[in-house]
Amino acid sequence: MVKIGVLVSGGGTNLQALIDAEKSGIIKNGEISLVISNKKDAYALTRAENNGIKTAVVLKKECRDAREFEEKIIKLLEENEIELIILAGFMCILSADFTKRYENRIINVHPSLIPSFCGEGFYGLHVHEAALNYGVKVTGATVHFVNEIPDGGKIIAQKAVEILDGDTPEILQKRVMENAEWIILPEAAEKICKQIKESK
């Protein structure tokens, strides 16, 4: 099994989708071995603990700088022999040094069809607000490799979601999660795990 480490900051709905996908056999070449949060009260940690997954917390304020913060994360990833890193609502931009170290081994899900509504400042509800303000009729989600440019890595999977009359950012966020993010993130994780396994 390819060991997966998931980096989280919040409620962990995408983490839950990954846990469920592992249980249902959608993810069959990987296993979630570690969940790391940069917030000690993130509900994602509870989700992990409820499913017997090892957790760790690394707080930026307890580190001298961003470099030490990343070094602590790397140490945890190495100790747990993590081969694939999934960012599931992780609200920290990783440095070029970090992303190069794990080239083609970090994936992220973004709640729009990249290259629309992505990059710095586009996260959470901001993405859906921008889509609605612009008046696009279709949005969706994208799973991509993570490099030094926010949302700039190669695209692995995309799924479109229709925008409906009367949508608010909150309603749209929920539909994009349910109809796109929670489907393509586990599928992409399995695809990459399979590739890692085959390349061993």
Known catalytic residues?
110
CB of 163 closer than 8 Å to CB of 138? yes
Compute CA 68 distance to the chain's CA centroid, rounded to the nearest angstrom: 22
Phi, psi of 43 (to 5 degrees): -65, -20
**Long-range pairs for 67-72: beta carbons < 8 A, 24 or more residues apart:** 67/95, 69/38, 70/94, 70/95, 70/97, 70/98
Question: In this structure, which amino acid lies at residue 183?
Answer: I
CB of 156 closer than 8 Å to CB of 107? yes
Reading the block at residue 166, the tokens are 């009367």
Reading the block at residue 69, the tokens are 């913060």
CB of 13 closer than 8 Å to CB of 42? no
Q: Which residues contact 193 (CB under 8 A, 6 or more apart)?
A: 2, 4, 27, 29, 30, 84
